[in-house]
């Protein structure tokens, strides 16, 4: 039996719609994973997969060249205690863009997954202990241990050549200091940013090493320039050890593989006009 032109057209249209339905049923909207994605993520036990999904958005692919602290760095991993890495992943850095990833804190990762991340970072990216000369400074030190006046002189001698307007940027700017912790400043001085060309403490004193006291003095000086009304961001290191000093973003809030933003920012964006977009974000490295 021969079909007429009208029937052929209808059959073709129905065939096209059927094929389109089959193809589209296997797709999902950009940024919205399929229904089983959360289940797959909760069962992820591969270090590379966990890091790519949850950490690379800030810390860069392979742990470097991201806006956040470089993790793929032997000196950094020699300085920071292993347990501190786990605590930071689990509890985040309150007041900063580093969220809490532990499910106990409202994040997306199980304790086992956090252990896998810690072991993967240390196993894959650390190296044998660096030479004892110059001595390796301790990871943390109380801000009161430094001499701000001496730190000001050290900063003028060894830091201001790069950290001034028009070069790398003035880290002495009060607005910048309101966004970073004293621990972040100390860590940056010790390990530098090798992925961005900043030298470590071993060479910052015109080719010589800064001493532990030098580092503490510079940190104390820069901390003294922070606005008086700025909220202290080092609460994580207080005796409670929980980092629970208020609301903070969770590891599964926000979109993409980038951690969430501060909830106050999210609330403010939520009050924008209904027809406007509330998508936004920024780069920040406040802890670690």
Instruction: Give the model confidence (pLDDT) of 106-152 as tens digits.
Output: 999 999 999 999 999 999 999 886 666 889 999 999 999 999 999 99
Q: What is the residue whose two structure tokens read 């994040």?
A: 107
Report helix angle 212-224 to 148-158, nearest 10: 100
Architecture of domain 39-125: Orthogonal Bundle (1.10)
> What's the pTM value of the predicted model, to 2 decimals?
0.67
Annotation: CATH topology of 143-232: Cytochrome Bc1 Complex; Chain D, domain 2 (1.10.760)
Find out whether 184 and 176 touch, Cβ atoms under 8 Å.
no
Predicted local distance difference test score (pLDDT) of residue 241: 34
Predicted local distance difference test score (pLDDT) of residue 164: 83
Q: What is the residue whose two structure tokens read 């780069």?
A: 283
Predicted local distance difference test score (pLDDT) of residue 244: 32
Question: Distance (Å, rounded) from C-alpha 64 to C-alpha 58?
Answer: 9
Predicted local distance difference test score (pLDDT) of residue 272: 38
Question: Distance (Å, rounded) from C-alpha 210 to C-alpha 204?
Answer: 6
Radius of gyration of the chain (CA): 25
Predicted local distance difference test score (pLDDT) of residue 40: 53
Predicted local distance difference test score (pLDDT) of residue 41: 59
Predicted local distance difference test score (pLDDT) of residue 11: 43
Per-residue pLDDT of the chain (288 residues; tens, 9 = 90+): 555 555 545 545 555 554 444 444 444 333 333 444 454 556 789 999 999 999 999 999 999 999 888 999 999 999 999 999 999 999 998 877 889 999 999 999 999 999 999 999 999 999 886 666 889 999 999 999 999 999 999 999 999 988 887 787 789 999 889 888 899 999 999 999 888 889 999 999 999 999 999 999 999 999 999 998 876 555 444 333 333 333 444 454 432 333 444 434 433 433 333 333 222 222 234 445
Q: Convert the chain into a string of H (helix), E (strand) and C (coil).
A: CCCCHHHHHHHHHHHHHHHHHHHHHCCCCCCCCCCCHHHHHHCCCCHHHHHHHHCHHHHCHHHCCCCCCCCCCHHHHHHCCHHHHHHHHHHCCCCCCCCECEHHHCCCECHHHHHHHHHHHHHHHCCCCCCCCCCCCCCCCCHHHCCHHHHHHHHHHHCCCCCCCCCCCCCCCHHHHCCCCHHHHHHHHHHCECCCCECCCCCCECCECCCHHHHHHHHHHHHHCCCCCCCCCCHHHCCCCCCCCCCCCECCCCCCCCCCCCHHHHHHHHCCCCCCCCCCCCCCCCCC
Question: Distance (Å, rounded) from C-alpha 163 to C-alpha 227?
Answer: 19
Question: Distance (Å, rounded) from C-alpha 88 to C-alpha 99?
Answer: 9
Preceding omega of 134 cis (within 30 degrees of 0): yes
> CATH 1.10.760.10 residue ranges in the chain?
39-125, 143-232
């Amino acid at each position: 039996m021969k079909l007429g032109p009208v029937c052929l057209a209808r059959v073709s249209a129905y065939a096209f719609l059927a094929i389109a339905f089959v193809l589209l049923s296997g797709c999902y909207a950009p940024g919205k994973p399929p229904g089983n994605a959360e289940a797959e993520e909760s069962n992820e036990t591969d270090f590379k997969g966990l890091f790519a999904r949850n950490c690379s958005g800030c810390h860069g692919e392979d742990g470097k060249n991201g806006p956040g602290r470089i993790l793929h760095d032997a000196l950094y991993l020699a300085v920071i205690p292993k347990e501190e890495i786990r605590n930071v992943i689990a509890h985040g850095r309150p007041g900063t863009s580093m969220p809490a990833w532990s499910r106990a804190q409202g994040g997306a990762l199980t304790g086992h997954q956090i252990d896998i991340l810690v072991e993967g970072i240390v196993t894959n990216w650390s190296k044998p202990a660096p030479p004892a000369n110059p001595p390796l400074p301790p990871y943390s030190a109380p801000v009161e241990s430094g001499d701000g006046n001496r730190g000001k002189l050290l900063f003028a001698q060894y830091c201001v050549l790069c950290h001034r307007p028009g070069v790398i940027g003035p880290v002495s700017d009060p607005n910048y200091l309101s966004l970073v912790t004293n621990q972040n400043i100390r860590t940056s001085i010790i390990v530098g940013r090798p992925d961005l060309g900043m030298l470590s403490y071993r060479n910052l004193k015109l080719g010589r090493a800064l001493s532990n006291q030098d580092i503490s003095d510079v940190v104390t000086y820069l901390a003294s320039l922070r606005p008086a009304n700025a909220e202290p961001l080092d609460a994580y290191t207080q005796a409670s050890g929980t980092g629970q000093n208020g609301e903070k973003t969770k590891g599964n809030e926000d979109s993409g593989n980038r951690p969430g933003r501060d909830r106050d920012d999210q609330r403010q964006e939520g009050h924008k006009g209904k027809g406007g977009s509330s998508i936004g974000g920024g780069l920040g490295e406040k802890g670690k």
